Each structure stands twice: as C-alpha cells, then as structure tokens.
Amino acid sequence: MSDPVLQVDGLEVHFPAGRGGGRGRGSSDVVRAVDGISFAIERGTTLGLVGESGCGKSTTGLAILRLVEPTGGRVQFDGTDLSTLGRGELRRWRRRAAMVFQDPYASLDPRRSIGEAIGEALDIHELHQGKQARPQRIAELLERVGLHPDTAGRYPHEFSGGQRQRVGIARALAVEPEFLVCDEPIAALDVSIQAQVLNLLADLQAELGLTYLFIAHDLAAVQHVSDRIAVMYLGRIVEEGDRRQVITRPQHPYTRALLSAVPVPDPVRERARRRVSLAGDVPSPMDPPSGCRFRTRCPEVFEACGRVDPDLQAVGSDGDRDGHRAACLLHGEVGQPVERSDHPDADQREAGLDDALSI
Ligand SMILES: Nc1ncnc2c1ncn2[C@@H]1O[C@H](COP(=O)(O)OP(=O)(O)OP(=O)(O)O)[C@@H](O)[C@H]1O
C-alpha cells in the first residue's frame, strides 16, 4: 500500500461483562468485541467493513476515534500512535476525524434548529466564531451537503430521513476532518434515497480528499463505495482485499455466505443462483467457539476446524493475488484441497459492480 494514512495493528477492545450478563458455562468475564484485527486505509480511499450485527464493527470505529479505549494493539494515523495522545492532542485528533451515524435523528436535539446543531460542532472546536463567520460557515456546510442554506432555522422533525442524514454529514464536516467513520449511514434510509447519500459521500471524498471507514452489515452497500473490503466475524477480520477481488473471488466461506445474499442484476441468474444460508446466530463474544470461530455456522466445516484457530490475518501476506490477505486456509493446513476457483456468479457480480459504480 503506497500511502496508508490509517494503520490498525492487532486492535483489541475487550469490555468487562456486565454483572451476571448472561454468562454461560465456560464463558469468560470479558466481551471480546474486537479481538486482534489489522488493516490499513490508503489516503483518500474507502475501506468497507462488513459483518453481521454484533461482530464488532461499531466498536472498531469508536476505538479508532478513541471514543472507546482499546485494550490492545495499535492505531496510527499519519504515523502517529493514537494511544500516546494527551488531552490537547486528542482534541486536535477529534478535529481530524469525525463520525457519521446510522440515525442522525437520535443525535439531534429536537428542540434545536439544525443550524444550532451544526454550530455546536463549530463551537466545541472554536471554529468560525465571528458574528458573520459562524452563520456563513453553517450556510456553506448546508450547501455542501445539498441542502438550502435557508433551512438552518428549521427543526429536525421538518426533515426527511435522507435530509437528516445530510445534516449529520454536515455536522461531521464542520470540524474539517480528513477521516470519517461512516457507521451504517444508509441502513435506516429508503432504498430510493440510499444511492443519493452514497453519491454525496463519494462527491465529498473526491472534493475534499477524505478517507473513509465505511461500516455496513451487508455487502450490497459496501461494494458500491469501497476500494477495499474487510469482512468481520465475531471480533476478527476473516477476509480483507481489493473490492473486486472480494466480490468476484471470495476466499472465506463467511464472505461467500454474505455474497450469496446480494442480488445479481440478471433475473434469470438471480433465480438460479446458489444461496448459502447460515444456521443460527453469531455466538456470544464472551464465549467464542474453540478453533475457528466461524465453525459453528460454516457450511464447509470439518473436524480440524474445532482444533485449529486459523490466523486469517497472517495468511496470504506473502502476496496472494491482488493483495488478498485472508482466506480459510485451514483446509490447506490439514491437507484438504483449498478452493480457489472464481465464484459461480463472478461475471454477474462484476457486471453489477460496474453498473453500481456508474450510478
Ligand atoms: N460498552 C459495551 N460494554 C459491553 N459490551 C459491549 C459494549 N459495546 C458493545 N458491546 C458488545 O460488543 C459486541 C460488538 O458490538 P458492536 O456494536 O461493535 O457490533 P456491530 O458489529 O457494530 O453491531 P451493530 O451493527 O448491531 O452495532 C456486541 O456483542 C456488543 O453487545
């Protein structure tokens, strides 16, 4: 990677389990929300982080911003180890990085106009404080996200879901960040509005050179916006690579299962395509399965998976094609054939990807 602006190495966030918090026999007293993950994001690009609810995506984003404290590993931005930041430096870091949430309504005070909500972000960081400069900057931010500057005096309930998400983005932009964690920014929106918000984020990235960590629970959303994709399961990254490679040549059975849920554009192929349904829920992060964490739901599970915990992040670092860094190589380790063929729907997925990119 030529210019990784964000470098995450072995990041760990373990929470103390709540008293009596549903602990079963054999479970520990910590919630292993994020359990040793590594990735890097090149400046001005997007890494899509995808996985089912509860796998640790939001905690990863919060830990990078130091809104929750990591319990292990290292996060570096522009070469600075974020764990070493003192109070003042942490404040400056929170200007360089911001978060866009799934539900901006939840973070907007219904009694304050959206101009005030955006102004608050300026006030916290003492930006554009002049009598004229402040309203001018608020108007600029509203325009930048496609809202009329006159809307500054309106209240959150007067806006549609898509408009509210634009306000959420304007508020994040108020601190003039270089890096945005977008945590499920389109999950709560109507499908018809989702593409507009994705396009807005893409335009802002191109104009302002922003770097994104884009979090979503389904691959359909991340495949449109990401340069690289990391797939997360139960606190770990099971696969990470160039977007096109992950979509067309998924290596891990979990990635294949997630992909099989993404519709393909051709209706005939759509009807015929192979779907992989995963049994059951994600196990508790207080008591992850022994061996491979995915084995309890893996359609390709076999005996050794209960014994060996594959270090998926280390696999392929010797230069697997196009920088794929993870795969279920457990099969290889115990002499089983390793599946390396293209996904049966690969050509359709490429077509869908190209369609999506020209929206
Ligand atoms: N402050 C906390 N204390 C204890 N456990 C927590 C805390 N925050 C998150 N968790 C647990 O950590 C795990 C990962 O949560 P996280 O919100 O990061 O997952 P996620 O993939 O973002 O899911 P979702 O999309 O539902 O938010 C979950 O089991 C969650 O219950």
**Rounded mean pLDDT, 154-172:** 93
pTM comes to 0.87
Cβ of 285 below 6 Å from ligand 1: yes
CB 97 within 8 A of CB 64: yes
CA-nearest residue, atom 17 of ligand 1: 58
Cβ of 14 below 6 Å from ligand 1: no
Residue 334 CA to ligand 1 center (angstroms) comes to 34
Cβ of 58 below 6 Å from ligand 1: yes
Tell me the pLDDT tens digit for each residue of 17-33. 875 444 445 556 899 99
CA-nearest residue, atom 10 of ligand 1: 33
Residue 194 CA to ligand 1 center (angstroms) comes to 24
Q: Which residue has the higher pLDDT, 220 or 114?
A: 114
Mean pLDDT score across all residues of the chain? 83
Q: How many CA atoms lie within 13 A of 343 on its CB side?
A: 28
CB 224 within 8 A of CB 356: yes
**Rounded mean pLDDT, 212-227:** 92
Say which residue the tokens 């404290």 belong to: 69
Cβ of 4 below 6 Å from ligand 1: no
CA-nearest residue, atom 8 of ligand 1: 59
In percent, the amount of the chain with pLDDT more than 70 equals: 80
Q: Which residue has the higher pLDDT, 180 or 337?
A: 180
Residue 76 CA to ligand 1 center (angstroms) comes to 23
Report which ligand 1 atom has the smallest distance to the Cα of 68. 1
**Residues 6+ positions from 254 with CB-CB distance below 8 Å:** 231, 233, 238, 239, 278, 294, 298
CA-nearest residue, atom 24 of ligand 1: 53
> Residue 34's pLDDT is what?
97
Residue 60 CA to ligand 1 center (angstroms) comes to 9
Q: DSSP letter string over 33-83?
A: EEEEEEEEEETT-EEEEE--TTSSHHHHHHHHTTSS--SEEEEEETTEEGG
Q: Which two tokens stand for residue 170?
A: 């304007």
Instruction: Provide the b/e sequence for 5-41 (b: ≥16 CB within 10 Å).
Output: bbbbbebbbbbebeeeeeeeeebeeebbbbbbbbbbb
Nearest to 45 by CA among 164, 213, 282: 213
Cβ of 287 below 6 Å from ligand 1: no
Tell me the pLDDT tens digit for each residue of 83-104. 999 988 998 998 899 999 988 7
In percent, the amount of the chain with pLDDT more than 90 equals: 55
For this complex, say whether ipTM is above 0.90.
Answer: yes
Tell me the pLDDT tens digit for each residue of 316-333. 433 343 344 444 655 444
CA-nearest residue, atom 6 of ligand 1: 15
Cβ of 15 below 6 Å from ligand 1: yes
Report which ligand 1 atom has the smallest distance to the Cα of 183. 22
